[in-house]
Structure 1
Amino acid sequence: MVSDSCKQEFERDGYTLVRGLFGADEAERLREHYMVLRHRGSYEGDDAGVQTGSRDPLRRYPRMGQMHRWDDASLQWLTDPRIDQVMTGLLDRSPYAVQTMIYFKPPGSRGQALHQDNFYLKAEPGTCVAAWMALDRVNQENGCLQVVPGSHRWPILCTEKADTKVSFTDVTVPLPTPDAAVPVVMEPGDVLFFHGALVHGSAPNVTTDRFRRALIGHYIQGEAEKVASYYHPALRMDGTPLTLEVAEGGGACGEWEDGPDGPVAVLTGTQMINRKHE
């Protein structure tokens, strides 16, 4: 399932793209499943990142989170043996599953500023790893993921102000050069696996008629003993829960809360390192 080149790429760049891990028909079924759920109403874990009454597209299609706790299709995807096989091949040990998310990213919606996932998960020892599955064809026009190769070797960086005209979160991380991030073009069913310290984000969806739906699972390395409280209970890849310690700080990836001037990202955790990669 995992070639030597994929493992070498993951170790070198902090990510690897496994094309066609899921079939296009599976991606279509999941896409339609989440659209039905989204149109039915709201759920615990929904986050829009925009003010009530806003005409922002994200108000109509807020992100869903932790669906595996109440939706069987999400739980089955999160613990799918294909994902487990790839993760085990990359990490030399089966991971623990801790989060599901789906971003709908409708036409005209903002992206998410560059960030590092383990800023939120606080997995230790080791780190978290994401499985980011495209449910639509994704490219730069509809806001594909952008990654900074090699940034998984960086520390967890202190955040700085982001441009909220193009990002629904208001914090980002510094880069050594402005063009360090590269786009990842994907087809439905492709899955990008990436390290928890990898700097990544996305630009706005500038199309008028294309969604950029993506299903994301977050996992922690099998030797991890702690993770932030939001991610409990962790699951073994057979779906059984296990007890881990609670890591101090952390929160949902891309979390925000209402501020006096509108939604702001929640700055959490106490272990950020205040230096850039040299």
Structure 2
Amino acid sequence: MTAISDISLTDEQRVQFARDGYLVARGMLAPEEAASIREAFMEQNAGGPVPGLSEVRESRADNNPADPLSFYPRMMHPHRRPELAVGALSLQYMLDERFYPILCELMRDEPVAVQSMFYFKPPGARGQELHQDNYYLRVSPGVCMAAWIAVDDVDAENGGIKVVPGSQYEEIACPEKADPAVSFTSDYVPVPAGMQAVHCDMTAGDVLFFDGRLIHGSTPNTSTDRFRRSLIFHYVPESSEEMSEGYSTRLTFDGFQVDHITAAVGGGPCGVLHPLPLH
């Protein structure tokens, strides 16, 4: 494992993040690490959705057996299941020391790990419409940060992630309704005037770091034989005072639980009558 002292951002990366709200750390994980993550999650899901781990909602269209996501829904908070191989692996990478110096510099604070997710996105799966992560996490003051690990090579064909550079300077928006034919989630944040969404091609092992206000999402996987698997973590600044309920894990990179962050109140940008759902 690379030592913390050997990792730092280049001046070009600092400028890019300040301008665009994201950066890609190429080759942060070795190919064999990406392969081990991929194999562990595929083995865990070999029999289909896992109770208490896979996100299955009775009202969702992806419960249709014809939908690829009915067998491969995303896994939420796998780090909370340390008795499972995927749980131990998620917690290991969630607190991986290679992420620490980058998060510290980008967040200008000590990072606190609060969420893990795994997306399978098999061939034919719908995407996830454009959205902003801090709409869900509701971190204040400050904003959450994501570390998005490409577990496969990702591009436009297999529904790789797309971002809207510069949108991190926009306010958190109240989403519109997404088209369920192309998005498995219901929220959609339009691209602001004068901006555009661009695909962020990545190789397995690359890590995308991005601001929680950045508008991002993905298109459907139109390939016939390529998954687009990704392991994703969210972090918040240690100086945060409040955050959405439900994110009970709040770990420093030393493994200590942070207890001072209270539950966010009110309804967020959609108004007090529309409380925000958990991500």
Deviation at 1:240, TM superposition (A): 1.6
Q: State whether structure 2 residue 33 is matched by structure 1 residue 38.
A: no
Deviates more, 1:125-134 or 1:66-75: 66-75
Whichever residue aligns with residue 44 of structure 1, its letter is: G
In structure 2, the partner of 1:142 is: 158
Counterpart position of 1:64:
75
**Shift of residue 28, structure 1, vs aligned partner:** 0.4
1:96-175 equivalences under 5 Å are 96-175=112-191
> Deviations for 1:67-125, whole angstroms, at most 9, x for unmatched residues?
11111111010000011121112223220000000000000000000000000000111
Which residue identity is paired with 1:26? Answer: E
> Offset at 1:178?
9.1
1:33 is paired with a residue whose SS is: helix
Deviation at 1:145, TM superposition (A): 0.4
* Larger mean Cα displacement after TM superposition, 170-179 or 63-72: 170-179
Specify whether residues 79 and 8 from structure 1 end up closer, same or farther in structure 2 by C-alpha distance, changes over 3 A only: same
* Residue ranges of structure 1 left out of the alignment (5+ in a row): 252-266, 271-278
Contact 1:152 1:195 in 2 (8 A): yes
One of 204, 208, 220 as aligned partner of 1:192 = 208
Report the equivalent of 1:10. 17
Distance 1:179 1:218 in 2: 25
Shift of 1:226: 1.3
Say what the alpha-carbon RMSD is for the aligned residues.
Answer: 1.9
- Contact 2:113-2:234 at 8 Å conserved across structures: yes
What is the aligned length?
A: 255
Give the residue type in structure 2 aligned to 1:6: Q
User: Is the CA contact 1:142–1:207 (under 8 Å) kept in the aligned structure 2?
Assistant: yes
Q: TM-score, normalised by structure 2?
A: 0.86
Q: Distance in 2 between matches of 1:176 and 1:227?
A: 26
CA distance in 1, matches of 2:214, 2:137: 13
Correspondence for 1:25? 32
Residues 82-93 of structure 1 mapped to structure 2, 5 A cutoff: 82-93=98-109
Residues 183-242 of structure 1 deviation map (CA, whole Å, 9 limit, x = unaligned)? 000001000000000000000000110000000000012221211111123111122211
* TM-score normalized by the length of structure 1: 0.87
Are 1:246 and 2:246 matched, yes or no? no
Aligned residues of 1:119 and 1:250 also touching (Cα < 8 A): no
Residue range with higher mean Cα deviation, 239-248 or 137-146: 239-248
| Residue aligning to 2:55 | 47
* 1:200-219 equivalent positions in 2, closer than 5 A: 200-219=216-235
SS of aligned partner of 1:9: helix
